[in-house]
């Protein structure tokens, strides 16, 4: 639920992991002093036969008194709770969607008045990224090189007409142009006249 694994307190007996600790955020979502901490005693699922695939999961919890049995360290913002005194209000149930997973460890202080106190350790949900830890980086737009636009139209052009107007020459079946044929003709006539003079 919400990326966490929750179990009842009896299920965690004798195990190295603790999945029965939970926290319900205060209505303001800003002050940690108003958060409620507790241990899950029972998990109840309510089903509604008239509504298809609809059920509600409730956690029955043993709460710590947020006034007398909870302290917040002013410097390190560590939450200390005392489970020897439970909250006497008759409101043990919360919706599973409201629960945030936490676990409790023994208080590191050697003072006798802290022997029964526990320290709250908050955990992160699986596959969830805490966006509050990320700092905003100044956005620098990349230099964009403009690409010249090529204008295209749907007009068609007759290439044969352009060749006739521009070149003014045509090739014969031997691959020669008209100008080349004229030059060859002049050369052959000159050679013929020279041969006539030689024979005389």
- Chain CA centroid to CA 34, Å: 32
Residue 134, pLDDT score: 55
Question: What is the pTM (predicted TM-score) of this model?
Answer: 0.54
Report the residue count for the chain: 200
Measured between alpha carbons, how far is residue 57 from residues 25, 35, 60, 98 in Å? 18, 21, 10, 11
Find out whether 81 and 64 touch, Cβ atoms under 8 Å. Answer: yes
Compute the C-alpha angle 86/90/93, nearest 5°: 90
Q: What is the pLDDT of residues 86-120, one digit of tens each?
A: 777 778 888 988 888 888 888 777 777 777 788 88
Residue 152, pLDDT score: 65
Name which of 83, 99, 79, 88 is nearest 7 in CA terms. 99
**Percentages (nearest 5) of helix, strand, coil residues in the chain:** 25, 25, 50
Look-up of token digits 């560590």:
78
Residue 175, pLDDT score: 47
Q: Which residues of the chain are modeled with pLDDT < 70?
A: 1-3, 27-33, 126-142, 144, 148-200
User: In whole angstroms, what is the distance from residue 124 CA to residue 130 CA?
Assistant: 8
Residue 58, pLDDT score: 92
Name which of 58, 60, 22 is nearest 41 in CA terms. 60
Residue 141, pLDDT score: 64
């Amino acid at each position: 639920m919400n990326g966490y694994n929750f179990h009842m307190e009896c299920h965690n007996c004798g195990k190295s992991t603790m999945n029965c600790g939970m926290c319900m955020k205060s209505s303001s979502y800003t002050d940690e002093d108003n958060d409620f901490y507790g241990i899950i005693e029972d998990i109840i699922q309510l089903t509604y036969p008239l509504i298809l695939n609809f059920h509600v999961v409730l956690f029955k919890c043993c709460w710590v008194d947020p006034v007398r049995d909870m302290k917040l360290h002013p410097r390190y913002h560590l939450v200390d709770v005392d489970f020897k005194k439970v909250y006497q209000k008759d409101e043990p149930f919360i919706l599973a969607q409201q629960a945030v997973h936490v676990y409790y460890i023994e208080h590191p202080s050697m003072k006798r008045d802290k022997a029964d106190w526990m320290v709250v350790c908050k955990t992160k949900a699986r596959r969830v990224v805490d966006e509050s830890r990320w700092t905003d980086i100044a956005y620098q737009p990349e230099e964009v090189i403009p690409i010249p636009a090529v204008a295209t139209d749907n007009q068609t052009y007759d290439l044969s007409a352009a060749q006739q107007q521009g070149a003014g020459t045509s090739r014969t079946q031997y691959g020669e142009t008209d100008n080349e044929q004229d030059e060859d003709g002049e050369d052959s006539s000159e050679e013929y006249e020279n041969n006539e003079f030689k024979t005389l």
